[in-house]
Amino acid sequence: MRRHGVLVALTLVLAACGGAGDAESTVVAAGTTIVDNGVVEYLVAESPFAESMNVLAATSAEALTLLEQGAADLAIVHAPDRLATFLQQNPQAQSAVLFQSRFVLVGPPDKVAEYDGLSAPEAFAKLALRGDAFVTRADGSGTYESESKVWEASGVDRTGAAWLTTTGQGMGFTLQVAVDREAFIWVEEGTLVGSPLANR
């Protein structure tokens, strides 16, 4: 199932407060979602400085922390709220939107039709009411930030819910857990390419 989409800007952030790499290298902290879906690999390959780039996979929260601490030169994130706070606290930093990232709800083929025509908050509310299994990252990522906003809009209190599985891990691992548990998951659409959930 690919519906209930939400668009979020994928942003490149440059800290002007000093770099992590030496004169011959650039450290890029990038969200695990865009590492897993191959976006970062493509961006680095297209750069004339590809050979001097060192990519660190991290959640958006971790990437911004690494940037703030001087452990990274660049960060690529898709967590607008965290980014806004970072830019407010670090006015010397510069940012630019690369493109938009689309998040969608996917789930077991035998259940997705029952969610046709619903908005994302409506689908989340129905999922909770039915008790259909759902897997979440809950890891400070842009994906989790987006998911949390949908849960808030749905009015669902998911605290202690038996149908909810929390991984605290990256997108690739969490996707596999969703497949194994035949569960629903909120995911960045590009990550689905080549995954077991691609045709759901």
- Where does 102-192 sit in CATH, by number? 3.40.190.10
CB 28 within 8 A of CB 74: yes
Query: Region 13-17: what's the mean pLDDT?
Result: 53
Instruction: Identify the band that residue 18 occupies on the pLDDT scale cut at 50, 70 and 90.
Output: very low
Percentage of residues of the chain with pLDDT beyond 70: 84
Query: Region 108-113: what's the mean pLDDT?
Result: 91
Query: Region 57-84: what's the mean pLDDT?
Result: 90
Architecture category of domain 8-101 in CATH: 3-Layer(aba) Sandwich (3.40)
Tell me which residue of 129, 130, 180, 125 sits closest to 153, measured CA to CA: 125
Q: Which residues pair with 92 in a beta bridge?
A: none
Determine the Cα–Cα distance for residues 21 and 91; give it in Å rounded to an integer.
Answer: 21
pLDDT over 50 (residue 1):
no
Report for 21-25, 68-72, 140-144, 160-164: range of highest mean pLDDT: 160-164
Instruction: Write out the residue limits of the CATH 3.40.190.10 domain(s) in the chain.
Output: 8-101, 102-192
Start-to-end CA distance of the chain, whole Å, equals 4
Task: Please report the pLDDT score of residue 85 as a whole number.
Answer: 93
Calculate the average pLDDT of the chain. Answer: 84
Instruction: Identify the band that residue 170 occupies on the pLDDT scale cut at 50, 70 and 90.
Output: confident
pTM here is 0.75
